[in-house]
Homo-oligomer: A and B are copies of this chain.
Amino acid sequence: MILVLAGGVGGAKLAQGLASQLPPEELLIVVNTGDDFIHLGLHISPDVDTVMYWLAGLNDRIRGWGLAGETWNFMTALGRLGDPTWFRLGDSDLATHVVRTQRLACSETLSEVTRHLSRQLGIAHHVAPMSDDSVRTIIHTTDGTLAFQDYFVRLRCAPTVTAVSFDGIEKAAPSPAFIAAMADPHLRTIVICPSNPLLSIDPILSIPGVLQWLRQRRVPAVAVSPIVGGQAIKGPAAKILRELGRDVSVLGIAEHYRGLIDGLVIDAIDEITAPAIEGLGLSVTVTNTVMANLDDQKALASVALALAAQIADGAHA
């Protein structure tokens, strides 16, 4: 049993790589829901949808989010009606939000809705939200406090970040599947995807009990660095780390996850940093971490699993 912690596109890519080589019952993908928001009366779960669309093979690979072959006639009509169009909802993608919103209104949990949507999309593996409770990532900036999508989409990450907080986190419980995985005696590895550590992974780790469980884990945990050569492959991770005075490097990532992981997969471009990371007591694997296609995703998934296996062997030795 492998537990994967994932955010949006980086998480979706590695999750798809893992899913392509693990049977459904051996993988649980727990996805950040701090980005969720209610827009136009619809419950939108951007990271859950990204992971589902990639696992279903329906994703738009260029854009990263949303469905391949998407059309935008709803947005054009919405603009004609004078409603805000800064958050783009594709015509096909809309069905996901409408169905989710309706099922949540009928008292289904986000876990149940996600399971239903996954199955309808033909996904064999188990995708679960990090929590069925409402957690909202709040971005504190020099321009004021912003809801996540306001910062991320509407303002395109332009404001300077001073802090990140997760509204509702103190009352949030891990989702049932997440709880079950943490208690599962067959759990053998935890994989933290190359998602934004502050915006995508920290919400998951901030759910009460998760950090403590991770610190006390008896199975190897490995992360894949989302920082490559001092830059984020996608999104504002590097910019935010810099604004918060953090080290924008694979070493900074290693320090961020210190005590929570046993191993870190870094890109070949960062090979020179490997000894410093090992100096922190972490095992390191150097490989290509830029996932340009499914082969890359599978290869990176194999490397992450091999690193975890190697750590487990070392612990047993």
Contacts and interface: CB of A to CB of B under 8 A. Distances in A.
Copies, count: 2
A185 interface: no
Interface stretch (A96-104, A161-169, A236-244): A96-104
Interface string A274-317: 00000000000000000000000000000000000000000000
Contacts of A105: 41
Given A91-B91, A92-B73, A40 B80 contact: no
Contacts of A76: 92
A83 interface: yes
A83 B94 CA distance: 13
A269 interface: no
A283 B271 CA distance: 94
A144 interface: no
A158 interface: no
Contacts of A153: none
Interface in A32-79: 40-42, 67, 70-71, 73-74, 76-78
Interface residues of A, number: 31
Contacts of A70: 73
A121 interface: yes
Contacts of A92: 73-74, 76-77
A216 interface: no
A80 B121 contact: yes
Contacts of A116: 82
Contacts of A102: 40-41
A183 interface: no
Contacts of A96: 77, 81
B83 A95 contact: yes
Contacts of A120: 80-82
A117 B77 CA distance: 11
A93 interface: yes
A105 B43 CA distance: 14
A93 B77 CA distance: 7
A88 to B, nearest CB: 13
Interface of A: 40-42, 67, 70-71, 73-74, 76-78, 80-83, 90-96, 98-99, 101-102, 105, 116-117, 120-121
